[in-house]
Structure 1
Amino acid sequence: MRFNKLDLNLLVALDALLAERSITLAAERLNLSPSALSNSLAKLRDYFDDDLLVQIGRKMEITPRAESLQDAVRDVLLRIDSTIVAQPAFDPSKSDRVFRIFVSDYTQLVLGPALLKLATEQHCTAQFDFLAQVVNPQRELERGDADLIIIPSGFASPDHPSETLYDEEFVCVVWSDSHLAQGELTFDRYVEAGHVVMRPSTKGESFESWFLQRFGVTRRTTVTTYSFAALPALVAGSDYIATVHARLAHRMAAAWPLTIRPAPIVIDRMDQAVQWHRYRTQDPGLVWLRKTLHRAAAHMDQMHLPPT
Structure 2
Amino acid sequence: MVHSIKLFVPQEFSFTQNLHYLQRSPNECLYLIRNNSICRAIPLGEDIAVIEVSEAPQEQAIMVRFLGDTAPTDSVKRAEVAAYVRDWFDLNTDLVPFYTMAETDPLLSQAILSFYGLRNMGIPDLFEALCWGILGQQINLAYAYTLKRRFVEAFGHSVECENEVFWLFPKPEDIARLQVEDLAGLRMTLKKCEYLIGVAKLIADGELTKEQLLAAGSLKQAEKQLVSIRGIGPWTANYVLMRCLRIPNAFPIDDVGLHNAIKHLMGLEAKPTKKEILELSAAWANWESYATFYLWRYLY
Structure-2-length-normalised TM-score: 0.21
Higher normalized contact order (CA 8 Å, seq sep 6+, divided by chain length)? 1
**Larger radius of gyration, structure 1 or 2?**
1
TM normalised by structure 1 equals: 0.21
